[in-house]
Amino acid sequence: MDHFKHYINQIPEGVYHSAEVYAGEHIALLMPNKFMSEVTIHTEDYHFVLPIEIPPPIWLGKKEFEFERNKIIVFNPDIDVCCKKNNTITSRYSTITIKKQFLNEVAEDMGFHHNVIFSKVENPSSENIRRAIYNFKREIENYGNQSSMIVDSLSIQIVATILREINSNSNVGRYCITEGDGYVKNAKEYMQGFYNSNISIIDICSEINISPYHFIRLFKEKTGTTPHEYLLNLRIENAKKMIKDNEDNITSIGKKCGFINNSHFSTTFKRLTGVSPVEYKSNSDK
């Protein structure tokens, strides 16, 4: 942690000693189970906090901020962050410190502005960022810094994902991925993997960590269809392939594709294709 002494020395002992610590040359990941209390931190570098529970309010200059759970809180370099009094023990959360020079070098390599300033303090949760951080943690947890090249590669991945997904002066008008895209992509991958099981909206939302109401709205907005209709179409497309390949009888194919009975399979198949499974098979055999 020698590269991050300025930051570490400002953290209260009780918070630091409660934390799991994973650090490379450019990024330090701390996972405390306590929030800071009545302390001011001066940020030399970029800081990102990913709380699971609702964190205490903070002051940035003369403005007080309150936050929701499961958001990404961003502090740009060279500001004073004052944490209000709070002695809450919480679920272990992530706080990421990224060296200023490193983040800006990656930004420049990506063709972005080299002096990055993130636009908002509170930002939507991103499954892609959380996954990149998890991979960084697992690598150091399993191999320490023996694989410094891999740690550096994962550090670049974290920064690149942050630059793409969190609004800043660098990515305005560029290919910034919106909040919903990551959720929809992960939901599609989950449905493609488990279309033949009796999965529900609750199962999908639990897997990608989003509320059902928010998920259904986002999915329809991004794809033009509901998750239920997408899943039915996925099942029917796979059923059509099985029928063409003469993989099994019609009833078995329906069950293999996740339909609870043959009646539901036949009704859905005809609604989406215009013909029954038997008629489709007959046409395919000609």
- Is residue 30 domain-shared with residue 141, that is, in the same domain? yes
CA dist 64 to 77, 82, 121, 273, Å?
18, 9, 11, 57
- 170 falls within a domain: no
- The Cβ-side half-sphere exposure at 84, using a 13 Å CA radius, reads 11
- The whole-number pLDDT of residue 254 equals 92
- Is residue 121 domain-shared with residue 182, that is, in the same domain? no
- Is residue 21 domain-shared with residue 131, that is, in the same domain? yes
Q: What confidence category does residue 180 fall into, taking pLDDT thresholds of 50, 70 and 90?
A: low
Q: Total domain count for the chain? A: 2
- Torsion, Cα 222 125 149 108, to 10 degrees, reads 70
- 187 falls within a domain: yes
- 265 falls within a domain: yes
- The whole-number pLDDT of residue 174 equals 44
Cβ atoms 218, 184 nearer than 8 A: yes
- Is residue 147 domain-shared with residue 191, that is, in the same domain? no
Indicate whether 179 pLDDT > 60.
no
- Is residue 135 domain-shared with residue 27, that is, in the same domain? yes
Region 132-156: what's the mean pLDDT? 86
What's the pLDDT tens digit per position in 79-115? Answer: 888 887 666 677 789 999 999 999 998 888 888 767 8
- Is residue 74 domain-shared with residue 158, that is, in the same domain? yes
- 154 falls within a domain: yes
What's the pLDDT tens digit per position in 42-70? Answer: 889 999 999 988 888 888 877 888 888 88
Indicate whether 72 pLDDT > 90.
yes
- 172 falls within a domain: no
- The whole-number pLDDT of residue 171 equals 63
Mean pLDDT of the chain: 86
CA dist 36 to 14, 18, 56, 84, 236, Å?
9, 11, 8, 8, 53
Beta-carbon neighbour count of residue 33 at 10 Å?
A: 14
Amino acid at 11: I
Domain termination residue (choose one: 104, 132, 165): 165
In terms of residue numbers, what domain contains 22? 2-165
- Is residue 89 domain-shared with residue 141, that is, in the same domain? yes
What's the pLDDT tens digit per position in 152-161? Answer: 999 999 999 9
Domain termination residue (choose one: 165, 194, 211): 165
- The whole-number pLDDT of residue 88 equals 64
Q: Structure pTM?
A: 0.59
What's the pLDDT tens digit per position in 203-221? Answer: 888 888 777 777 888 888 8
Cβ atoms 33, 6 nearer than 8 A: no
Indicate whether 163 pLDDT > 80.
yes
- The whole-number pLDDT of residue 173 equals 43
